[in-house]
Copies of this chain bind each other. A is one copy, B any other.
Protein backbone atom coordinates (compact mmCIF):
# COMPACT_ATOMS: atom_id res chain seq x y z
CA UNK A 1 0.00 0.00 0.00
CA UNK A 2 1.23 3.52 -0.85
CA UNK A 3 0.05 6.87 0.49
CA UNK A 4 0.17 9.67 -2.10
CA UNK A 5 0.08 13.38 -1.31
CA UNK A 6 -1.14 15.88 -3.90
CA UNK A 7 -0.82 19.67 -4.02
CA UNK A 8 -3.68 21.08 -6.02
CA UNK A 9 -4.58 24.38 -7.71
CA UNK A 10 -8.11 25.19 -8.80
CA UNK A 11 -10.29 28.00 -10.05
CA UNK A 12 -13.32 27.62 -7.80
CA UNK A 13 -15.68 29.59 -10.05
CA UNK A 14 -17.43 26.63 -11.62
CA UNK A 15 -17.13 24.20 -8.70
CA UNK A 16 -19.68 23.54 -6.01
CA UNK A 17 -16.85 23.58 -3.46
CA UNK A 18 -14.33 20.90 -2.52
CA UNK A 19 -16.46 18.22 -0.96
CA UNK A 20 -18.05 15.50 -3.09
CA UNK A 21 -21.83 15.78 -3.35
CA UNK A 22 -24.26 13.81 -5.45
CA UNK A 23 -25.19 15.56 -8.71
CA UNK A 24 -22.86 18.51 -8.14
CA UNK A 25 -19.54 19.27 -9.80
CA UNK A 26 -17.01 19.38 -6.95
CA UNK A 27 -13.20 19.44 -6.87
CA UNK A 28 -13.02 16.23 -4.84
CA UNK A 29 -15.45 14.53 -7.20
CA UNK A 30 -13.57 15.54 -10.35
CA UNK A 31 -10.21 14.50 -8.85
CA UNK A 32 -11.45 11.14 -7.55
CA UNK A 33 -12.87 10.36 -10.96
CA UNK A 34 -9.61 11.15 -12.80
CA UNK A 35 -7.55 9.18 -10.26
CA UNK A 36 -9.85 6.15 -10.47
CA UNK A 37 -9.65 6.21 -14.25
CA UNK A 38 -5.85 6.12 -14.18
CA UNK A 39 -5.39 3.63 -11.33
CA UNK A 40 -8.27 1.34 -12.22
CA UNK A 41 -9.72 1.42 -8.71
CA UNK A 42 -11.74 3.92 -6.71
CA UNK A 43 -9.93 6.04 -4.13
CA UNK A 44 -11.01 8.06 -1.16
CA UNK A 45 -9.34 11.45 -1.39
CA UNK A 46 -8.80 13.25 1.93
CA UNK A 47 -8.57 17.02 1.52
CA UNK A 48 -6.88 19.30 4.04
CA UNK A 49 -9.61 21.91 3.73
CA UNK A 50 -13.20 21.69 2.55
CA UNK A 51 -13.27 24.96 0.63
CA UNK A 52 -16.74 26.39 -0.04
CA UNK A 53 -18.39 26.91 -3.38
CA UNK A 54 -16.59 29.55 -5.45
CA UNK A 55 -13.42 29.55 -3.31
CA UNK A 56 -10.08 29.06 -5.12
CA UNK A 57 -6.92 27.19 -4.17
CA UNK A 58 -3.27 27.63 -5.06
CA UNK A 59 -2.08 24.95 -2.66
CA UNK A 60 -4.85 22.65 -1.45
CA UNK A 61 -3.39 19.37 -0.17
CA UNK A 62 -5.02 15.94 -0.36
CA UNK A 63 -3.92 12.33 0.00
CA UNK A 64 -5.14 8.92 -1.11
CA UNK A 65 -4.03 5.31 -0.74
CA UNK A 66 -3.36 2.95 -3.59
CA UNK A 67 -1.80 -0.43 -4.35
CA UNK A 68 -0.76 0.86 -7.79
CA UNK A 69 2.93 0.58 -8.64
CA UNK A 70 2.77 3.37 -11.24
CA UNK A 71 5.70 5.82 -10.95
CA UNK A 72 4.67 9.16 -9.44
CA UNK A 73 5.68 11.15 -12.51
CA UNK A 74 3.50 8.96 -14.71
CA UNK A 75 0.57 9.33 -12.30
CA UNK A 76 0.97 13.13 -12.30
CA UNK A 77 0.97 13.38 -16.07
CA UNK A 78 -1.97 11.01 -16.46
CA UNK A 79 -4.06 12.72 -13.76
CA UNK A 80 -3.42 16.17 -15.22
CA UNK A 81 -4.17 15.02 -18.75
CA UNK A 82 -7.60 13.83 -17.60
CA UNK A 83 -8.44 16.76 -15.33
CA UNK A 84 -10.48 19.69 -16.70
CA UNK A 85 -8.78 23.03 -17.28
CA UNK A 86 -9.95 24.55 -13.98
CA UNK A 87 -8.06 22.11 -11.76
CA UNK A 88 -4.49 20.79 -11.81
CA UNK A 89 -2.17 18.80 -9.58
CA UNK A 90 0.95 20.88 -9.05
CA UNK A 91 2.97 18.40 -7.03
CA UNK A 92 2.86 14.72 -6.18
CA UNK A 93 4.81 12.96 -3.43
CA UNK A 94 4.82 9.62 -1.64
CA UNK A 95 4.37 10.02 2.11
CA UNK A 96 4.32 7.67 5.15
CA UNK A 97 1.17 5.60 5.49
CA UNK A 98 0.04 7.55 8.57
CA UNK A 99 0.05 10.91 6.74
CA UNK A 100 -3.46 12.40 6.82
CA UNK A 101 -4.06 15.64 4.88
CA UNK A 102 -6.80 16.81 7.21
CA UNK A 103 -5.71 15.69 10.68
CA UNK A 104 -2.02 16.18 9.99
CA UNK A 105 -2.25 19.83 8.90
CA UNK A 106 -0.38 22.06 11.37
CA UNK A 107 -1.59 25.32 9.86
CA UNK A 108 -3.23 26.75 6.77
CA UNK A 109 -2.66 30.00 4.94
CA UNK A 110 -5.54 31.81 3.24
CA UNK A 111 -5.50 35.00 1.23
CA UNK A 112 -8.47 37.23 0.58
CA UNK A 113 -8.15 39.67 -2.32
CA UNK A 114 -10.15 42.85 -2.52
CA UNK A 115 -10.34 45.70 -5.01
CA UNK A 116 -11.01 49.01 -3.25
CA UNK A 117 -11.91 51.45 -6.00
CA UNK A 118 -15.09 53.14 -7.28
CA UNK A 119 -14.94 51.28 -10.61
CA UNK A 120 -15.31 47.49 -10.81
CA UNK A 121 -12.70 45.45 -12.71
CA UNK A 122 -13.73 42.98 -15.45
CA UNK A 123 -10.31 41.32 -15.38
CA UNK A 124 -10.40 40.79 -11.60
CA UNK A 125 -14.06 39.98 -11.18
CA UNK A 126 -13.62 36.26 -10.64
CA UNK A 127 -10.71 36.69 -8.23
CA UNK A 128 -11.53 39.57 -5.92
CA UNK A 129 -14.28 41.34 -4.02
CA UNK A 130 -15.08 44.76 -5.43
CA UNK A 131 -15.60 47.32 -2.65
CA UNK A 132 -16.42 50.73 -4.09
CA UNK A 133 -15.39 52.62 -0.93
CA UNK A 134 -11.92 53.60 0.15
CA UNK A 135 -10.91 51.82 3.34
CA UNK A 136 -9.03 52.87 6.48
CA UNK A 137 -6.11 50.45 6.34
CA UNK A 138 -4.68 51.40 9.73
CA UNK A 139 -7.98 50.71 11.52
CA UNK A 140 -8.22 47.31 9.83
CA UNK A 141 -4.62 46.54 10.78
CA UNK A 142 -5.37 47.35 14.40
CA UNK A 143 -8.15 44.73 14.30
CA UNK A 144 -5.85 42.22 12.60
CA UNK A 145 -3.49 42.49 15.55
CA UNK A 146 -6.39 41.59 17.90
CA UNK A 147 -6.96 38.38 15.93
CA UNK A 148 -3.49 37.01 16.69
CA UNK A 149 -3.31 34.26 19.32
CA UNK A 150 -5.73 31.67 20.74
CA UNK A 151 -9.34 32.80 20.50
CA UNK A 152 -12.87 31.49 20.43
CA UNK A 153 -13.87 32.48 16.87
CA UNK A 154 -17.60 31.64 17.21
CA UNK A 155 -18.53 35.14 16.06
CA UNK A 156 -16.90 34.37 12.71
CA UNK A 157 -18.29 30.87 12.12
CA UNK A 158 -20.99 30.20 9.55
CA UNK A 159 -23.78 27.75 10.23
CA UNK A 160 -23.06 24.27 8.96
CA UNK A 161 -19.74 23.98 10.80
CA UNK A 162 -19.40 20.50 12.17
CA UNK A 163 -16.91 21.44 14.85
CA UNK A 164 -17.64 21.46 18.56
CA UNK A 165 -14.52 23.42 19.43
CA UNK A 166 -14.51 26.99 18.08
CA UNK A 167 -11.07 27.80 19.50
CA UNK A 168 -8.30 28.35 16.98
CA UNK A 169 -4.85 29.86 17.06
CA UNK A 170 -4.34 32.71 14.59
CA UNK A 171 -0.66 33.04 13.77
CA UNK A 172 -0.70 35.66 11.07
CA UNK A 173 -3.28 38.29 10.16
CA UNK A 174 -1.85 40.86 7.80
CA UNK A 175 -2.91 43.34 5.19
CA UNK A 176 -0.76 43.72 2.10
CA UNK A 177 -1.31 46.62 -0.29
CA UNK A 178 -0.83 45.89 -3.95
CA UNK A 179 -0.82 49.06 -6.03
CA UNK A 180 -2.82 50.57 -7.49
CA UNK A 181 -6.02 49.58 -5.67
CA UNK A 182 -5.71 46.05 -4.33
CA UNK A 183 -5.74 44.89 -0.75
CA UNK A 184 -4.75 41.35 0.20
CA UNK A 185 -5.59 39.95 3.64
CA UNK A 186 -3.33 37.06 4.69
CA UNK A 187 -4.39 34.73 7.50
CA UNK A 188 -2.52 31.78 8.92
CA UNK A 189 -4.11 29.68 11.66
CA UNK A 190 -3.93 26.18 13.08
CA UNK A 191 -7.36 25.68 11.62
CA UNK A 192 -10.30 27.65 10.34
CA UNK A 193 -14.00 27.39 11.16
CA UNK A 194 -16.45 27.26 8.30
CA UNK A 195 -16.65 30.68 6.62
CA UNK A 196 -14.21 32.15 9.15
CA UNK A 197 -11.98 34.11 6.76
CA UNK A 198 -14.92 35.52 4.83
CA UNK A 199 -16.72 36.53 8.06
CA UNK A 200 -13.60 38.20 9.43
CA UNK A 201 -13.00 40.04 6.14
CA UNK A 202 -16.63 41.20 5.94
CA UNK A 203 -16.34 42.64 9.45
CA UNK A 204 -12.89 44.15 8.82
CA UNK A 205 -14.26 45.92 5.75
CA UNK A 206 -16.97 47.49 7.91
CA UNK A 207 -14.15 48.78 10.12
CA UNK A 208 -12.34 50.04 7.01
CA UNK A 209 -15.49 51.87 5.93
CA UNK A 210 -15.86 53.46 9.36
CA UNK A 211 -19.14 51.66 10.14
CA UNK A 212 -17.42 49.96 13.06
CA UNK A 213 -14.43 51.06 15.13
CA UNK A 214 -11.69 48.72 16.38
CA UNK A 215 -13.23 48.66 19.87
CA UNK A 216 -16.52 47.42 18.40
CA UNK A 217 -14.59 44.83 16.41
CA UNK A 218 -13.13 43.58 19.69
CA UNK A 219 -16.61 43.40 21.24
CA UNK A 220 -17.91 41.41 18.27
CA UNK A 221 -14.99 38.98 18.57
CA UNK A 222 -15.58 38.54 22.30
CA UNK A 223 -19.34 38.13 21.94
CA UNK A 224 -18.92 34.62 20.44
CA UNK A 225 -22.13 35.24 18.54
CA UNK A 226 -22.27 35.08 14.72
CA UNK A 227 -25.24 37.44 14.56
CA UNK A 228 -22.99 40.25 15.79
CA UNK A 229 -20.54 40.07 12.88
CA UNK A 230 -20.97 41.85 9.54
CA UNK A 231 -21.83 40.30 6.20
CA UNK A 232 -19.74 37.44 4.90
CA UNK A 233 -17.36 38.53 2.14
CA UNK A 234 -18.15 36.80 -1.19
CA UNK A 235 -16.26 33.60 -2.07
CA UNK A 236 -14.46 34.69 -5.25
CA UNK A 237 -11.86 36.71 -3.30
CA UNK A 238 -10.73 33.75 -1.19
CA UNK A 239 -7.71 31.55 -1.94
CA UNK A 240 -6.36 28.61 0.03
CA UNK A 241 -2.67 29.34 -0.47
CA UNK A 242 -0.78 26.76 1.56
CA UNK A 243 -1.22 23.91 4.01
CA UNK A 244 1.68 23.32 6.39
CA UNK A 245 2.44 19.91 7.96
Contacts and interface: CB of A to CB of B under 8 A. Distances in A.
Nearest to A76: B119
Contacts of A86: 122, 125
A123 B85 contact: no
Contact of A85 (B80, B119, B125, B127): B125
13 contacts: A9-B121, A9-B122, A10-B122, A11-B123, A11-B125, A56-B123, A85-B122, A86-B122, A88-B119, A88-B120, A88-B121, A88-B122, A123-B127
A80 to B, nearest CB: 7
State the copy count for this chain: 2
Interface residues of A, number: 19
A106 interface: no
A207 interface: no
A173 interface: no
Interface in A116-145: 119-123, 125, 127
A72 to B, nearest CB: 14
Contact of A119 (B10, B56, B90): B90
Nearest to A8: B122
A193 B101 CA distance: 52
Contacts of A119: 80, 88-90
A58 interface: yes
Interface in A32-76: 56, 58
Nearest to A85: B125
A11 B85 contact: no
Contact of A80 (B10, B58, B120, B127): B120
A27 to B, nearest CB: 10
A121 B7 CA distance: 13
Nearest to A89: B119
Nearest to A121: B9
Interface in A78-117: 80, 85-90
A36 B120 CA distance: 21
A125 B123 CA distance: 13
A90 B89 CA distance: 37
Nearest to A86: B122
